[in-house]
Structure 1
Amino acid sequence: MAASEQQGEKRSAEEETVLSLLDVLEEDEALQDEACAVLGASDAEKCSYPQGYVKRQALYACNTCTPKTEEPAGVCLACSYKCHEGHELFELYTKRNFRCDCGNGKFKQLECKLHPDKEKSNAQNKYNDNFFGLYCICKRPYPDPEDETPDEMVQCIVCEDWFHGRHLGTLPPEHVDFQEMVCQGCMERCTFLRAYNSKLGVPGVTKITPAETDQEEIKVDFVETAEAPNTPAITTEEVKVETSQPPEVKEEEKPSCTPSASTSSDQKPCNGETSCAVKTEVKANSACKLEEFRKGQGTALSSATYWPSSWRCQLCRCAECMKLYAEHGLLFLLDDHDTVQAYEKKGKSEVQDNKDPLMAALSSMSHVQQVELICEYNDLKTELKDYLKRFADEGKVVQSEDIKKFFEDLRSKKRRRLDNMQYYCS
């Protein structure tokens, strides 16, 4: 073998990454932290139906039970595990003010195992094509096996649909932090937001047209019940990367600012008869900030808009603007707990409150101590496996007394080993 090849192999061996037990646990902890952020502290054991119209929760649609030929329906996290195991599910990430449909009148043959006593329908739920696994103005599945164009998907905070970046009219900003997006269709409906965008919005990269679709104009289609309002519910935006993983979760949440007017959100779940409106106190003689923003408004562009984390705090809260928000179904914009960042922070906080004690112990150990712990663990696993194997071979049932005896013998062996150790001092 040539000397250069030997040096190359030696260098490759030296550059090979060596992971310690602590590295593995830290990586696992990061994955758990991300998963908890995506699930937003949703309960994996109890159906969310008794909570009413939950402010924000992880949701799924079952293509097995409610295919495209049926009415759209959404199920909570717990029902996706307990009632729809093995079914074809669409992950919807998060929806606002939604009540679990599992087992209600939309499911012809399935009864909810966790909470079977449900009304026939949830009149205030809002649905779109996402519930049938279709997204964006191109109405394509995610991930799309026929789409070879690398692109990220972004969720509109108004219509809750996910859009390819190339179908938004302007591409998402590059190397610039933005927290929320309002799609082109919703901007055309909520035209007053253009005034705020002129000063508060984050500029997109370039103006583009959705050439890959046959639609001449961007529309947001909703399937609603007869009692449901005509305005779509609003969710906050998060980047959904084109992989099989859940949408990308932002690692940090920027501090929220305090609105000029006193606001407080209704924390009680809706009972299906009242809406989850935001209670807001309005100053009688407050000047309209929207009019001030309109003075500097430039030419209106027909495209999506991108917003920083603090933009909601700048929204006017005068009496006329409050009526405007109500007419467009946008009162949630004044709710500090509405954002995806607040939703994810709730999930992450539960991770912090339930830190693994083993992880904390290993963090304070030296490399040698970590290796010793691993050896002790492997010895314990081997001895316990051999001990239980004897019961299996003899067809005996393991009793609690047998387990106690095992650990007593283990402690006794450890004491004898320590007593026989020789100590040297210099």
Structure 2
Amino acid sequence: MSQNTEASQTAQEFIASQLQLEADAREALPYQFDTCTKPLGPLRQAIFACLTCNPPPTSDNKSHTPAAVCYSCSISCHGEHELVELFTKRNFVCDCGTTRIPSSPCTLRLNESTSQKGDVTGETPAETNKYNHNFAGRFCACDDQYDPEKEKGTMFQCLGLGTVEDGGCGEDWWHPECLMGLPRPQPTETTPKEDKEETKQPNIEGQEETAQPSDIQEEVDEAPLPPGFPAEDDFDHLICYKCVNSFPWIKQYASQQGFLGPVHHKQPSESNEVKSEEKPTQDASLSSSETNKKRSAEDGSEESASKKTKVETEGVVAETTTPSTTTPAEDTPLHTKLPSAPTGTFSLFLKEDFRNHFCRCPSCFPNLKPHAQLLEEEEAYEPPVSESDDEEAQNGRGSVGSGSTYERGEALLSNMDRVKAIEGVMVYNHLRDKVKTFLQPFAESGRPVGAEDIKAYFEKLRGDEEGIRLAGAGAGAADESQEGSQ
């Protein structure tokens, strides 16, 4: 085999590989990233902390200016920096181009002083932004750095009733063990056991089958939930113990309709007391789980199941509210029928319909009003999807980061000066015809185009016939030498 055919590919293979790379890029970055969200004001949106521009403090005594940028700025302005994905935060305004990130200007917003896009810096950041240790790349009460390569199991985001200033967590992400005050298992503690049990694993239907490498890796990544922690399918949201303590009025909803039982946080000083409470807590969670599953299978039993729960927890009060025709019972505020709030420090786990079961009487609604997430489901802002159609590309409306390379080229061409665009198209057509003539024999024979072929072709375009002859002779000698050595 000649040297010029090694590590080469046909034109069709090259185009196919480029299209696959572009498809992979669109899957990883599915949205357009040519517009900063700062002009849109506070949004619930995906944000990213830039540790290059705002490095975390090396010690508690060091100061740190927390900041985060929107999806578009994370790519267009900080694409080569070290970023930490914080996922969605509510009521957040992008900090890119503000005094919180003085070292990197925003390249997407309009600079008011120059009336040109880009080089925006020194703007005033939004005063409404709230920050926590997530912006320094740390999460959970354990203040751990999240490493997706080493992290085992699932982390859960708190609904975030309170900010750090309120005593809450500010929509922090939590390990299940940390919510319960339990020590987290280290990877070295679980790996030997998994190695011993990896030969045969039951699948979801209960049949025994040999585990494949991918199955083993998935099981290693998914650490089991600690005893007493609800199953992931049994709840939609959680409110951590920090936020529950900051707004204790919500404690009375534990174990009520739309809420699972309290999951207590084990304090170091009350280990003996909590041990005796762990089993009831687990039973309450399991009971809620079974009720939820039963309700999904037997839709008509929801009313009777809820009444039974009220009878068991409310005693005589529940019996007095049973007749649905009694007007005074209907007018009685819900909070007067709730039992006393459980004691201790605990987190709340919320079902999908939890918003329907809050008391909204004149006395209780002021507690709900500051927390819009408790009143209605939140929608997160998403930039437009980057798959622009052909018409958009031809009209020059395709974004810098949207569409294929061909579409982006056409979009840029349509935005050029008309005379320069025509001249560019003429040069391109002239070069295209010549390259097409050069590639035609390769396409017909299926022979790949090597680096030496391309080098010789462009030497011919320059008129360097002697260079072509020498290149051809050199390639032939190389072939003969390689054949002689075999």
| TM-score normalised over the length of structure 2 | 0.45
CA distance in 2, matches of 1:173, 1:381: 64
- Give the letter for the 2:159 counterpart: I
Q: Secondary structure in 2 aligned to 1:127? A: coil
**Structure 1 residues 31 and 106: alpha-carbon distance in aligned structure 2, compared to 1, 3 A threshold:** closer
Alignment correspondent of 1:264: none
1:66-95 superposed Cα distances (whole Å, 9 cap, x missing partner): 123431001011111111122111110111
**Structure 1 residues 392 and 162: alpha-carbon distance in aligned structure 2, compared to 1, 3 A threshold:** same
Alignment correspondent of 1:203: 261
Task: State whether structure 2 residue 349 is matched by structure 1 residue 306.
Answer: yes
Q: Secondary structure in 1 aligned to 2:248? A: coil
Deviation at residue 142 of structure 1 after TM alignment: 0.6
Alignment correspondent of 2:158: 156
Unaligned runs of 5+ in 1: 1-27, 212-253, 255-285, 355-378, 399-426
Moved over 4 A (4+): 28-33, 286-290, 349-354, 379-393
Task: State whether structure 2 residue 457 is matched by structure 1 residue 394.
Answer: yes
Alignment correspondent of 1:168: 179
CA distance in 2, matches of 1:309, 1:395: 66
Alignment correspondent of 2:91: 97
Q: Secondary structure in 1 aligned to 2:74? A: helix
Task: State whether structure 2 residue 79 is matched by structure 1 residue 85.
Answer: yes
Q: Secondary structure in 2 aligned to 1:109? A: coil
Alignment correspondent of 1:333: 374
Deviation at residue 130 of structure 1 after TM alignment: 0.1
CA contact (8 A) 2:35 2:72 kept: yes
Q: How many residue pairs were aligned?
A: 258
| 1:258-407 correspondence runs (5 A) | 289-292=333-336, 295-297=338-340, 299-326=342-369, 329-336=370-377, 338=378, 342-343=379-380, 386=449, 393-395=456-458
CA contact (8 A) 2:31 2:385 kept: no
- Give the letter for the 1:291 counterpart: H
- Give the letter for the 1:155 counterpart: Q
CA contact (8 A) 1:168 1:184 kept: yes
CA distance in 2, matches of 1:92, 1:177: 25
CA distance in 1, matches of 2:375, 2:108: 34
Deviation at residue 180 of structure 1 after TM alignment: 0.3
Task: State whether structure 2 residue 225 is matched by structure 1 residue 181.
Answer: no
1:26-66 superposed Cα distances (whole Å, 9 cap, x missing partner): xx999988x68xxxx86422111111111x21100011111
Alignment correspondent of 2:466: none
CA contact (8 A) 2:105 2:121 kept: no
1:256-307 superposed Cα distances (whole Å, 9 cap, x missing partner): xxxxxxxxxxxxxxxxxxxxxxxxxxxxxx9574414x53345234111111
State the identity %. Answer: 28
- Give the letter for the 2:347 counterpart: A
CA distance in 2, matches of 1:319, 1:51: 34
| TM-score normalised over the length of structure 1 | 0.51
Q: Which has the higher helix share?
A: 2
Alignment correspondent of 1:75: 69
Q: Secondary structure in 2 aligned to 1:313? A: helix
Alignment correspondent of 2:402: none
Q: Secondary structure in 1 aligned to 2:79? A: coil
CA contact (8 A) 1:288 1:316 kept: no
Bigger Rg, structure 1 or 2: 2
Unaligned runs of 5+ in 2: 1-21, 57-62, 110-119, 161-169, 182-227, 269-295, 297-329, 390-441, 462-486
CA contact (8 A) 1:48 1:100 kept: yes
Alignment correspondent of 1:50: 39
Deviation at residue 383 of structure 1 after TM alignment: 5.8
